[in-house]
């Protein structure tokens, strides 16, 4: 319920500010003269103008001389009343700004301009004072570090290689982007990651703007049951039983299809409705995919990809922070990435705008032949909280079930050991074998070192000519 602050209360605010100038400093970011009654508005305007020009508040004598209003200091004001002032002034400002926003919204609605309405209302409701002074760096380093690493909520991705690269996993409130070309498996990667989090008893929602709910769910069935989609079709009852049994040890999962060119508000509205109706707390959100969303805050042509994606990326990240959830989405790589095996920022469709907003960006390097061989590679293109940029993550891929998993650790270690042993043998072979020397000898026989031979021959001929000249002279 909104409080009503009458003229007497507003005058008391101004009197307290005159008494203690520090209070004005603390509320200056929300102090708006338009919020005061007409009688007091000139006083509030003079306070702002004078403080901006002279960097000091006017006293009561200056105020009365300029505005004709007597604003006397509060006698005997104790420090404890300052907290009351801050709470009440914040509520007063929020109420007045909301009233003004509603009036402006009514005019916009009449003219058919619906876009800015929500922003007006939201900005008014979110008005608040900055009371959090941040982190005292030197006060308690141990508590600060523990808060970041433990309370920050880094969540394992279910893939040990990715967790190592990200120093533990992904964090709530971050924007994580999976980038790949058409048919590279962006959706498959997100579905697999969703299954990994469900196995950790997290609840999630998968928003699909491209595939149907049924196809998205069918692919997840294959990944979870270990059956190919062909086998599932042959035995639907067995698949259904396996899925139901698996659900007992997994978090709740909702798949929702939204039309392309939906926006973040559409997603937000669905999430709220889902949570209200089911009472389920959402831990993670998959949005498949970013390029198909439109921004809320501005009207942008779908053809202006860079600007559109900039606002959509920011709105998605704000949504993740607002709901305190894990959020993963996908994006296309452009045509320039088709023949590349190493990705950089220039290969992201829409340019740097998404990269700059995102916290982690992974490029998918794969092909049909790689997937048929059971291989799947991710390249870290950006990471805010780790030094993993440029590193690669090699994963195993089951072509039948579409399940992506970590390579077998024992097999990987054995392969590394075998490769190391082979390299050692080759190095030893090169240092002890005579084959190289024999090859050089044979080469010299086939192609004699012409410079040395010619040099020797020329010297002998020259010597012979000189001898002949000396003999002729004697004769």
- Residues 396, 444, single domain; the answer is no
Domain range for 16: 7-125
- Residues 345, 296, single domain; the answer is yes
Residue 461 counted as domain residue:
yes
DSSP characters over 218-249: HHHHHHHH---HHHHHH-HHHHHHHHHHHHTT
pLDDT per residue over 439-451, tens digit each?
A: 444 344 444 444 4
pLDDT per residue over 318-337, tens digit each?
A: 999 999 999 999 988 765 54
What does the pLDDT read at residue 353? 72
- Residues 256, 109, single domain; the answer is no
Asked if the model's pLDDT at residue 296 lies above 50, the reply is: yes
- Give the residue, 467 or 251, on which the prediction is more confident: 251
SS3 assignment, position 184: coil
- Residues 202, 351, single domain; the answer is yes
- Residues 322, 395, single domain; the answer is yes
- Give the residue, 144 or 193, on which the prediction is more confident: 193
Q: Tokens standing for 88?
A: 């009440």
pLDDT per residue over 149-187, tens digit each?
A: 665 457 899 999 999 898 889 999 999 999 888 778 899
Q: Count structural domains, the chain.
A: 3
- Residues 178, 92, single domain; the answer is no
Q: Tokens standing for 78?
A: 């104790």
Q: In 3D, which of 290, 363, 302, 354 has the Cα closest to residue 333?
A: 363
We report the CATH number of the domain holding residue 120 as 1.10.860
Residue 264 counted as domain residue:
yes
**Domain finish residue from 83, 106, 125:** 125
What does the pLDDT read at residue 333? 79
- Residues 196, 318, single domain; the answer is yes
287 CB-near residues (< 8 Å, 6+ apart): 207, 209, 267, 293, 316, 327, 328, 329, 330
pTM, 2 dp: 0.62
Residue 20 counted as domain residue:
yes
Residue 136 counted as domain residue:
no
pLDDT per residue over 392-424, tens digit each?
A: 888 999 988 999 998 865 444 444 444 444 444
- Residues 447, 369, single domain; the answer is no
Asked if the model's pLDDT at residue 432 lies above 80, the reply is: no
Residue 421 counted as domain residue:
no
- Residues 60, 160, single domain; the answer is no
Residue 288 counted as domain residue:
yes
- Residues 407, 452, single domain; the answer is no
What does the pLDDT read at residue 3? 64
Q: In 3D, which of 271, 160, 249 has the Cα closest to residue 201?
A: 249
Work out the mean pLDDT of the chain and round it to a whole number.
80
- Residues 284, 186, single domain; the answer is yes
- Residues 107, 206, single domain; the answer is no
């Amino acid at each position: 319920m909104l409080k009503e602050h009458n003229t007497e209360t507003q005058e008391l605010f101004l009197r307290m500010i005159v008494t203690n100038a520090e209070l004005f400093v603390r509320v200056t970011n929300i102090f708006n003269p338009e919020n005061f009654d007409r009688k007091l508005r000139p006083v509030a305007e003079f306070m702002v103008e004078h403080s901006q020009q002279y960097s000091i508040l006017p006293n009561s004598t200056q105020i009365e001389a300029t505005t004709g209003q007597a604003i006397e200091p509060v006698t005997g004001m104790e420090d404890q009343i300052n907290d009351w002032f801050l709470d009440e002034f914040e509520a007063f400002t929020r109420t007045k700004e909301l009233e003004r926003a509603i009036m402006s919204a009514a005019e916009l609605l009449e003219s058919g301009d619906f876009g800015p309405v929500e922003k007006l209302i939201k900005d008014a409701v979110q008005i608040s004072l900055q009371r959090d002074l941040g982190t005292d760096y030197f006060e308690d380093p141990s508590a600060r570090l523990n808060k970041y690493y433990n309370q920050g909520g880094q969540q394992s991705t279910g893939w040990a290689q990715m967790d190592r690269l990200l120093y533990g996993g992904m964090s709530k409130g971050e924007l994580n982007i999976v980038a790949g070309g058409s048919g590279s498996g962006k959706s498959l990667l997100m579905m697999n990651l969703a299954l990994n989090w469900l196995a950790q008893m997290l609840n999630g929602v998968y928003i699909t703007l491209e595939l149907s709910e049924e196809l998205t769910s069918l692919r997840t069935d294959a990944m979870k049951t270990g059956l190919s989609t062909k086998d599932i079709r042959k035995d639907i009852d067995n698949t259904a039983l396996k899925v139901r049994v698996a659900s007992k040890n997994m978090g709740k999962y909702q798949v929702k299809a939204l039309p392309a060119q939906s926006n973040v508000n559409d997603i937000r509205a669905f999430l709220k409705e889902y949570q209200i109706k089911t009472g389920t707390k959402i831990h993670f959100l998959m949005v498949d995919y970013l390029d198909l969303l439109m921004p809320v805050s501005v009207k942008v042509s779908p053809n202006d990809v860079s600007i559109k994606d900039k606002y959509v990326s920011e709105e998605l990240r704000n949504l993740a922070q607002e709901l305190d959830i894990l959020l993963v989405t996908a994006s296309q790589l452009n045509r320039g990435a088709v023949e590349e095996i190493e990705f950089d920022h220039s290969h992201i469709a829409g340019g740097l705008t998404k990269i700059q907003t995102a916290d982690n960006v992974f490029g998918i390097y794969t092909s049909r032949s790689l997937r048929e061989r059971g291989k799947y590679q991710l390249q870290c293109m950006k990471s805010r909280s780790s030094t993993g940029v440029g590193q690669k993550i090699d994963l195993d891929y089951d072509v039948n079930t579409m399940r992506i998993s970590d390579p077998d650790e024992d097999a990987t270690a054995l392969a590394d050991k075998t490769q190391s042993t082979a390299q050692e043998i080759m190095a030893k072979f090169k240092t002890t074998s005579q084959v190289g020397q024999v090859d050089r000898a044979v080469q010299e026989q086939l192609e004699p070192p012409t410079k040395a031979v010619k040099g020797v021959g020329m010297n002998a001929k020259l010597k012979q000519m000189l001898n002949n000249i000396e003999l002729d002279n004697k004769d």
